[in-house]
Structure 1
Amino acid sequence: MTGVTGPIGRLHHTIVDCPDPAGLAAFYSAVLGLPITYRDEDFAVVATSSRASGLAFQRAPGNRPPTWPDPAVPQQIHLDVMVDDVPAASAAVLSLGATPLPGTGVFADPAGHPFCLIPRPGWAPPVADGTMPG
């Protein structure tokens, strides 16, 4: 790229289309242990604070859930969630309304978006202690 010497912008939110923003925000708030920092009828945000970027959910009338791994309806978005203990985390997300999909550690959230529970990499602090890398 010619003439660009630095970043053009910074990631604000990752937006997920869904039929029920408040419901999906509540799901990910529980999965990630983060508060819902904004909510209205058509939009909700889960983040570390109201001044931080985060994961946002936007009402999308007629949204069709992905059919992963079948590419008929693409996955649209995919989140990897690092966890200390995959079996324990699997049980926890199932209790929150996730649905297991083919593949170890692969689930669908309540709106049908696939997400993976991945073992915490060695460089990351334990998830259970609440420490955020940085």
Structure 2
Amino acid sequence: MTHPELLHTAIDARDPRALAEFYRELLGLHYRPGDEPPAPPAPDDEDWLVLLDSRDQRVLAIQGKADLRPSTWPSEEVPMQLHMDFRVPDAAELELQRERAEALGARVLMDRTQVPDEPLCVLADPEGHPFCLLVG
């Protein structure tokens, strides 16, 4: 029997190019041919961008959604709905990657980096989607 295979995770964004750039920088990804940023001014129809890993495998797709309401997590007013976990090898790398994410436009939602059993940090990307950086 065959099973479906995950192609990529698609994320909604009010500004797809900006969010694609955030994850491209944070995760060291690159654009699918044809999705690379154009020279300014950018066209208004960039509503589906695909990011690939170093083996040219799809990882993320960013989809335009003008009326997106960002998650308010930890409040449930607008639920999280989906989040991604990114693993780093140790606490020092966790701190480095948290700082990188913030410099790229993320904001910290919860900091548990001092918890010895499971150090992690929950951040929101520039569109408000929560994601975790954790030691694992």
Structure 2: runs of 5 or more not aligned: 36-44, 113-120
| C-alpha RMSD of the superposition | 1.8
Secondary structure in 2 matching 1:101: strand
Q: Is the 8 A contact 2:28 2:53 kept in 1?
A: no
Choose from 109, 113, 121 the match for 2:125.
Answer: 109
Q: Taking structure 1 as reference, are residues 50 and 44 closer, same or farther at Cα in structure 2, changes over 3 Å only?
A: farther
Q: Is the 8 A contact 1:11 1:53 kept in 2?
A: no
Secondary structure in 2 matching 1:102: strand
Q: Taking structure 1 as reference, are residues 94 and 72 closer, same or farther at Cα in structure 2, changes over 3 Å only?
A: same
Query: Whole-Å Cα distance in 2 between the matches of residues 86 and 110 of structure 1?
Result: 19
Percent identical pairs in the alignment equals 40
Query: CA offset at residue 49 of structure 1?
Result: 5.8
Matched to 1:99, the amino acid is R
Q: Taking structure 1 as reference, are residues 63 and 33 closer, same or farther at Cα in structure 2, changes over 3 Å only?
A: same
Q: Once the two structures are superposed, what CA deviation does each residue of 1:4-46 show, in whole Å capped at 9, x if it has no partner?
A: x331x21112110110111101000111011122536101111
TM-score where L is the length of structure 1:
0.78
Structure 1: runs of 5 or more not aligned: 122-134
Q: Is the 8 A contact 1:16 1:77 kept in 2?
A: no
Q: Is the 8 A contact 1:14 1:55 kept in 2?
A: yes
In the other structure, the counterpart of 1:31 is 26
Q: Give structure 1 regions of 4+ aligned residues with deviation exceeding 6 angstroms.
A: none
Query: Whole-Å Cα distance in 2 between the matches of residues 34 and 41 of structure 1?
Result: 18
In the other structure, the counterpart of 1:92 is 100
Query: CA offset at residue 71 of structure 1?
Result: 1.2
